C-alpha cells in the first residue's frame, strides 16, 4: 500500500506559542484516520498547518505528501496536489458566486494536472452530478459562496466542493459541529461515497458521534500538541465513556 | 469647479451616471419635488494615476415622498486623489434616501467621503440610510471617511455605517485552499466587494463595462 501523507516530528507555533509539539502520523491509501482530543489540543492547528495557513510557523519536522515536500508548497499548490480541507467555519464570500468559484478551483487543478479546462457545459454537468451527492439545493449554487447559508448548508457545501475537487487527502475539521442528525447523516454519506481505495481522509472531531457514520481505520488522541494514543475505532468508544481527562492523565 | 443644477419634477424618475474623469471638480445641486425618484451612480474608475477629482452632490428633497438613491464606486490607484461629498437634505415628510459608497484605495492613492445627511424638523417619517465601506490595500494608501448626521425630526428611521479595513484574509485563505492562486483570489474578492453596488445599476451592458474596468485596474494586484 502506498503512503499518501507522512508527518514526521511536526512542530508548529502561532505568535511564538508552540501548539504542535512533535506530531508523527502516517496515512496510507484507502485509510480513514480520526483525530480526537480536548479543546486546545491542536486539532485545528494541525489542519491549518497542513493546508498552509499563513498564521502558523513550522519550527521543526517535515511533511511528505505523495512523495513531495508539502511544507515547501504555497497553499494553493497543496490544494491542486490533492489536499482538501473541509473548514470548521466555512467562510462567506459575498459577491463571488459558487459557480464561478468552483469553476476557477476545478480548472486550476486541471491545469496543474496538465488537463484542458472544462467547457461551460461540461462544468455544469459535473456540478449537477456532484450536487446530488450531498442533496445540495440548486438555488445554493447561484448564490454567493456560503452567504446566508445555514450551518448545515455550509457543511454540505464543503462536502460538495470536496466532491468537485476529488482530493487525494481530505481533512474534515469538526464537520459534525453544529449539525443536526439528518444533516450529519447526509454529510457522512457524502464522505463515504467519495471514499475510494486510492484516497484517504483525516476526520477531526471532538465527539464520537460522527464516527458512527464515518468509520475510521485508526483513531488518534491528540493532547497538548502530541498524539498520545493510537488505536482502532474502539478507542473512540472508550473515550466517549471515560472522557478525555482519564486518557490525557496517563 | 463646474456647477450643474438639476430640477426633478413631481413624479419624475431620473437616473444619473457620473463618471469621474481626469481632474474633474464638479458640484451638483439637485432639487427633488414630491414623489420624484433620483438614482445616482458615481464611478471613479480611471487609470490616469495623476487624477485629482472632487465631486459634491447636494440633493434637497423639497416635496413629500421623494426618494434618493446614491451609489458610488471608487477604485483609486497610483497617486490619485478623489473626494466625494454628499449633502442630502430631507426637507419634507416621508422622504427616503439610500447611500452606498464603496472605495478601494491602493498604492499611494487617497480617497475621501464626507456624507452630510440632514433631516429637517418638518421631515417626519424620513427613512435614511448611509453606508460607506472601504478597503485600503497598501500602507501608503489612505481613506478618509466622515459621516455627519443632523436629525431635527423625531419620528424618523436613520442609520449610518462606515468601515475601513483590509482584504478579508480568511476568505483569501479559503479560496487558496480550493486551489486559486493568491492574485486570482484577491482579484475575485476585490471585484466582489463592488458587486452589491454594481447590481444596482440595472443595466447589464454598463455593469459589464464597469466590471471590466475594475478587473483591468486590479490586474497584477499582488
Question: pLDDT by residue (tens digit) across B94-117?
Answer: 999 999 999 999 999 999 999 999
> Does B173 sit within 8 Å of A93, measured CB to CB?
no
Residue B27, domain member (yes or no)? yes
Q: Is A129 exposed, middle or buried (0-12, 13-18, 19+ CB in 10 A)?
A: exposed
In contact, B80 and B22? CB cutoff 8 Å: no
Q: Give the residue-averaged pLDDT of A202-210.
A: 90
Higher pLDDT pick, B98 / B1: B98
Q: What is the extent of the structural domain holding B90?
A: 2-168
Give the pLDDT score at B22.
60
Q: Give the residue-averaged pLDDT of B9-21.
A: 90
Give the pLDDT score at A122.
95
Residue B7, domain member (yes or no)? yes
Give the pLDDT score at A55.
95
Which strands sit side by side in the sheet containing B25-32, from one edge to the other? B2-8, B25-32, B52-61, B81-90, B110-119, B142-151
Residues of A in contact with B188 (CB under 8 A): 96, 100-101, 104
Q: Which of A53, A104, A109 sits opposite B184 (nearest CB)?
A: A104
Contact status of B180 with chain A (Cβ, < 8 Å): yes
> Does B170 sit within 8 Å of A105, measured CB to CB?
no
Residue B207 pLDDT grade (very low, low, confident, very high; cuts 50, 70, 90): very high
Please state, in angstroms and as integers, the Cα–Cα distance from residue B173 to each residue in A53, A76, A90, following that order. 7, 9, 11
Please state, in angstroms and as integers, the Cα–Cα distance from residue B23 to each residue in B5, B105, B111, following that order. 20, 17, 14
Residue B208, domain member (yes or no)? no
Q: What is the pLDDT of residues A7-20, one digit of tens each?
A: 999 999 999 999 99
Task: Quote the number of domains for chain B.
Answer: 1
Give the pLDDT score at B51.
83
Residue B38 pLDDT grade (very low, low, confident, very high; cuts 50, 70, 90): very high
Higher pLDDT pick, A170 / A142: A170
Res. A43: pLDDT tops 70: yes
> Does A85 sit within 8 Å of B192, measured CB to CB?
no
Q: Give the residue-averaged pLDDT of A44-71.
A: 97
Residue B181, domain member (yes or no)? no
Q: Please calculate the CA angle B150-B156-B161 and round it to the nearest 5 degrees.
A: 60
- Among candidate residues B82, B67, B88, the one with its CA nearest the CA of residue B20: B82
Residue B29, domain member (yes or no)? yes
CA dihedral A100, A104, A107, A109 (to 10 degrees): -140
Size of chain B in residues:
222
Which residues 27-86 of A have a C-beta within 8 angstroms of B? 51-54, 74-76, 79-80, 84-85
Listed in sequence order, the residues at least 6 apart from A177 whose beta carbon sits closer than 8 Å to its beta carbon are A88, A206
Chain A's closest residue to B197, CA to CA, is A95
User: Which has the minimum average pLDDT: A131-145, A186-200, A202-216, B74-88?
Assistant: A131-145
Alpha carbon of residue B112 to chain centroid? 11
Output B212-216 pairs: Cβ under 8 A, ≥24 positions apart: B213/B43, B213/B45, B214/B45, B214/B73, B214/B75, B214/B190, B215/B187, B215/B191, B216/B47
Q: What is the pLDDT of residues A103-160, one digit of tens each?
A: 999 999 999 999 999 999 999 999 999 988 888 888 777 889 999 998 889 999 999 9
Res. B39: pLDDT tops 80: yes
Mean pLDDT for chain B? 93
So what's the architecture of A3-249 in CATH? 3-Layer(aba) Sandwich (3.40)
Domain range summary for chain A, segments of one domain joined by +: 3-249
Residue B212, domain member (yes or no)? no
Q: Give the residue-averaged pLDDT of A38-59.
A: 95
Alpha helices in A92-136 (DSSP H): 98-112, 120-133
Mean pLDDT for chain A? 93
Amino acid at each position: 500500500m502506498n503512503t499518501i501523507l507522512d508527518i514526521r516530528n511536526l512542530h508548529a507555533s502561532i505568535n511564538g506559542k508552540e501548539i504542535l509539539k512533535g506530531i508523527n502520523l502516517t496515512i496510507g491509501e484507502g485509510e480513514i484516520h480520526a483525530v480526537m482530543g480536548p479543546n486546545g489540543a491542536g486539532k485545528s492547528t494541525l489542519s491549518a498547518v497542513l493546508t498552509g495557513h499563513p498564521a502558523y510557523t513550522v519550527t521543526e519536522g517535515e511533511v511528505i505528501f505523495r512523495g513531495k515536500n508539502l511544507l515547501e508548497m504555497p497553499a494553493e499548490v497543496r490544494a491542486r496536489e490533492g489536499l482538501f480541507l473541509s473548514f470548521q467555519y466555512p467562510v462567506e464570500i459575498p459577491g463571488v458566486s459558487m459557480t464561478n468559484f468552483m469553476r476557477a478551483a476545478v480548472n486550476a487543478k486541471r491545469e496543474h494536472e496538465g488537463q484542458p479546462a472544462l467547457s461551460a457545459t461540461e462544468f455544469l454537468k459535473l456540478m449537477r452530478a456532484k450536487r446530488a451527492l450531498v442533496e445540495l439545493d440548486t438555488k445554493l449554487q447561484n448564490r454567493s459562496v456560503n452567504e446566508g447559508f445555514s450551518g448545515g448548508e455550509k457543511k454540505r457545501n464543503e462536502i460538495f466542493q470536496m466532491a468537485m475537487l476529488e482530493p487525494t487527502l481530505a481533512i474534515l475539521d469538526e464537520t459534525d459541529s453544529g449539525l443536526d442528525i439528518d444533516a450529519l447523516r447526509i454529510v457522512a454519506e457524502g464522505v463515504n461515497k467519495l471514499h475510494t481505495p486510492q484516497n484517504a481522509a483525516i476526520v477531526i472531531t471532538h465527539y464520537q458521534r460522527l464516527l458512527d457514520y464515518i468509520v475510521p481505520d485508526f483513531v488518534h488522541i491528540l493532547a497538548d500538541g502530541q498524539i498520545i494514543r493510537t488505536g482502532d475505532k474502539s478507542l473512540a468508544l472508550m473515550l466517549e465513556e471515560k472522557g478525555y481527562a482519564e486518557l490525557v492523565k496517563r | 469647479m463646474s456647477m450643474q443644477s438639476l430640477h426633478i419634477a413631481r413624479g419624475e424618475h431620473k437616473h444619473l451616471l457620473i463618471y469621474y474623469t481626469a481632474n474633474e471638480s464638479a458640484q451638483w445641486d439637485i432639487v427633488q419635488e414630491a414623489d420624484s425618484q433620483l438614482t445616482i451612480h458615481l464611478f471613479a474608475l480611471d487609470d490616469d494615476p495623476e487624477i485629482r477629482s472632487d465631486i459634491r452632490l447636494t440633493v434637497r428633497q423639497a416635496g413629500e415622498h421623494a426618494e434618493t438613491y446614491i451609489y458610488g464606486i471608487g477604485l483609486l490607484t497610483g497617486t490619485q486623489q478623489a473626494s466625494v461629498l454628499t449633502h442630502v437634505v430631507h426637507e419634507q415628510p416621508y422622504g427616503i434616501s439610500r447611500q452606498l459608497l464603496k472605495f478601494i484605495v491602493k498604492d499611494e492613492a487617497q480617497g475621501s467621503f464626507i456624507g452630510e445627511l440632514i433631516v429637517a424638523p418638518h421631515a417626519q417619517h424620513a427613512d435614511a440610510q448611509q453606508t460607506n465601506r472601504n478597503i485600503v490595500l497598501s500602507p501608503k494608501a489612505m481613506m478618509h471617511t466622515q459621516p455627519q448626521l443632523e436629525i431635527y425630526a423625531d419620528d424618523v428611521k436613520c442609520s449610518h455605517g462606515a468601515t475601513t479595513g483590509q482584504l478579508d484574509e480568511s476568505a483569501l485563505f479559503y479560496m487558496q485552499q480550493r486551489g486559486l492562486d493568491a492574485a486570482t483570489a484577491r482579484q475575485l474578492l476585490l471585484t466582489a466587494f463592488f458587486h452589491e453596488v454594481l447590481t444596482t445599476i440595472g443595466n447589464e451592458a454598463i455593469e459589464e463595462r464597469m466590471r471590466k474596468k475594475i478587473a483591468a485596474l486590479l490586474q497584477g494586484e499582488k
